[in-house]
Structure 1
Amino acid sequence: MRTPSTFWLVQIGVWGSLTLLNLSVRGYFNHYKLGELVNSLSLFVSLMIASGMLRRFYRDRGTGSLPKGIGQALLGSALASLVAVVIIGLVLLPNQEFLFGEVSNVALIQLLASYPNVFLFLLCWSAVYLLLKRQKALKLAFTREADLKEQLAASQMELLLNQLNPHFMFNAINNIRALILEDTNKARDSLAQLSDVLRVTLQTKQDKLWPLSQEIELTKSFIELNMLQFERRLVVNWHLTGIQLDHYRVPCLSLQLLVENAIKHGISNNSEGGTITIKIDADKRLTLEVSNPGTITANTNSTRLGITNIQQRLHLLFQENVHFSLTENKQMVTAKIIIEEPQCFAQ
């Protein structure tokens, strides 16, 4: 429970104080004879040995249930007290005449009568020792549990990000592949856009959160990349309101994923294309909203991975302080993220 040096210093302090008290009381009534000094010193030595034995006895014990711990304390204290009394007896009984000037017929009885007192001392010691040991074990368990939860969350986040990056990259590559035969220059521009976007995402892959302004810039680059393919079929309207966007942090690629789903299911499946509306309100709470033409029913199977991904990431990062919704109204699908309590994501 403690380092060996600290443990023994504590024992010397506790049992030394008890020994001095015992010597003072007995010496007051017996005029500080040699026998009283030896009696007190033998008590000190016996208690030191007994506490050391108890420490070894409790090394792999005392962290179980409370009834079991009480039983171990009683058993350990009883055995250690017996050892302590035997040590005192081995010192005093053979040397009575030298120490006290006479041999007493009741010395053995007096020695046995001291057993309850020694047992009480060691039982109190056991109770304190086991309590401290139990508290240390609980603290260690809580620390390990917190570390495991953090590692699990990090692993889950890494897995989710690994799911996200291929999803984004493969869609972009497919778009570029379709442009190669149609327009080489546009394909070259698309590769440059893709390179910029991938560089940003790879650089921030290990970050759970990043500034909202960077998320917006990444999303704009992604939209420009897609506009090279969809041209006039893709129209994007931005509505930004609230305080400075740099004051807020969001999960990286969160807005980009919403826009990617909107383009995939609201624009590419429609020969005439459509308009995507992006609304960001950065006020007392942060709201990210992306609307696109289409229906939820038609997109349920294909959007499940992306939507589940972002829901899990949001929950890992904000717990109960975030709300995600996917709704349909008049042939328009709206995905909305609301992050409550600015202190959760303010810089």
Structure 2
Amino acid sequence: MANAIMRTPSTFWLMQLGIWGSLMLLNLFVRGYFSHYKLGELINSFSLFISLMIASGVLRRFYRDRGTDDSLPKGIGQAVLGSAIASLVAIVIIGLVLLPNQEFLFGEVSNLALLQLLASYPNIFLFLLCWSAVYLLIKRQKALKLAYTREAELKEQLAASQMELLLNQLNPHFMFNAINNIRALILEDTDKARDSLAQLSDVLRVTLQTKQDKLWPLVQEIELTKSFIKLNILQYEQRLVVDWQINSNNIERWLVPCLSLQLLVENAIKHGIGNSKEGGLITIKIIANKSLTLEVINPGKIAPSSSSTRLGITNIQQRLNLLFEDKAHFSLTEHNQLVSAKIILEETQCSAQ
């Protein structure tokens, strides 16, 4: 009802008709009871009705032209000023109807008629002040609701833009490393380079198809990561060994941020295997119980000065925060010459229905 009052002029005037019409009937009943419903009392009540209808229209225009002040004291002052002006308009209208026609309506001319009319000003002012309070309250609530809606839409648009930016960072980052790997193979082994291009094509096809997705099935993330690992094995050969440890019988129902596991493995290969002449073992652990844990362990040390490492880690952290807020956790730790990158997602946030 509140929104309806403010939405269209026809609804507004229908509400005024109901409110002031009821007041007119009440006034007619009370005054007519003592005067046996003379014509003068009927005209008096009707002129009150017309004056209040016009006064409420004046008030509406008054508030619309000036807007609604956010300050409570100024809002109260605005309501008092508007009601005072509208009450004066109502008194003038009633006076123009009744004063010149006293003898016809009431059978006599009273010298106190003007004073009696002015004495009714406080009552009319009180009616219109209550009307103003309700009107301004409804208008304020509607404005707040609209502001909250716009704020929510802006936040959603901002989050979508941030996610778009983060996802756009991943593909160039991945392609740069892969192309460099293939370039190094071209002169050494053209067959391996050709195989690498085929692997790269498959990986890019999948990533480009899911670029706009926030979440996708864990099974697809695993397949993408395996293709990425095969692409790197063509370069690192025996230096790169991967051990998959999947502790779950129903990984099909889990959803993860796209490219999340792949990026962990990419960092592990680049900063763990790539920095070691002997290479090493990368362990990928996937544990799915009440929560989902994705952990990638590689030999090496955390290099805080590495900008590329920090870019990947920051990307993961920002994406998790945008998607899950405090329902996801990321950690990067080092122990006994091993670096562990771990993502933990709560079941309610990443399980498919």
Aligned-residue Cα RMSD (Å) equals 1.2
Q: Given the alignment of the two structures, is residue 234 of structure 1 paired with residue 240 of structure 2, yes or no? A: yes
Q: Structure 1 unaligned runs (5+)?
A: none
User: Which residues of 2 match residues 284-295 of structure 1 at below 5 A?
Assistant: 284-295=290-301
- Residue 265 of structure 1 contacts residue 299 of structure 1 at CA under 8 Å; is this kept in 2? no
CA distance, structure 1, for counterparts of residue 304 and residue 136 of structure 2: 63
Per the alignment, residue 24 of structure 2 pairs with: 19
Of the three residues 36, 39, 59, the one matched with 1:34 is 39
Contact conserved, 2:228 with 2:262, CA < 8 A, in 1?
Answer: yes
Q: How does 1:253-292 map to 2 (within 5 A)?
A: 253-292=259-298
Aligned to 2:3: none
1:1-347 matched pairs, under 5 angstroms: 1-59=6-64, 60-297=66-303, 300-340=306-346, 342-347=347-352
State the distance in 1 between where 2:35 and 2:109 align. 16
Indicate the SS of the match to 1:125.
helix
Deviation of 1:246 (Å): 2.1
Encode CA deviations 1:63-106: one digit per residue, 9 max, x unaligned.
41111111111111111001101110011000111111111111
Residue identity opposite 2:258 in structure 1: C
CA distance in 2, matches of 1:131, 1:124: 11
Say if 1:63 and 1:133, in contact at 8 Å, map to a contact too.
no
Task: State the secondary structure of the residue aligned to 2:277.
Answer: coil
**8 Å Cα contact 1:318-1:344 kept in structure 2:** yes
SS in 1 for 2:252: helix
Report which stretch shifted further, 236-245 or 263-272.
236-245
Distance in 1, matches of 2:27 and 2:223, equals: 79
Percent of counterpart pairs with the same letter? 79
Distance 1:162 1:297 in 2: 25
After the TM superposition, list the runs of 4 or more consecutive aligned residues in structure 1 that deviate by more than 6 angstroms: none
Shift of 1:61: 2.4
User: What's the TM-score, normalizing by structure 2?
Assistant: 0.95
For residues 149 and 268 of structure 2, what CA distance do their matches in structure 1 show? 43
State how far apart, in whole Å, the 2-side matches of 1:201 and 1:27 are: 83
1:152-199 deviations in Å (ceiling 9; x for gaps): 111111111111110001111111111122222222221111111111
Q: Point out the more displaced range, 127-136 or 61-70.
A: 61-70
CA distance in 2, matches of 1:337, 1:327: 12
Secondary structure of the 1:326 match is strand
**Contact 1:63–1:137 (Cα < 8 Å) also in 2:** no
Q: Deviations over 1:242-266 (max 9, x none)?
A: 3411222111101100000000011
Superposition deviation, residue 311 in structure 1: 0.5
Structure 2's unaligned 5+ residue stretches are 1-5
The worse-fitting range, judged by mean Cα deviation, of 41-50 and 299-308 is 299-308
Q: Contact 1:63–1:69 (CA<8 Å) still a contact in 2?
A: yes
Partner letter of residue 139 of structure 1? K
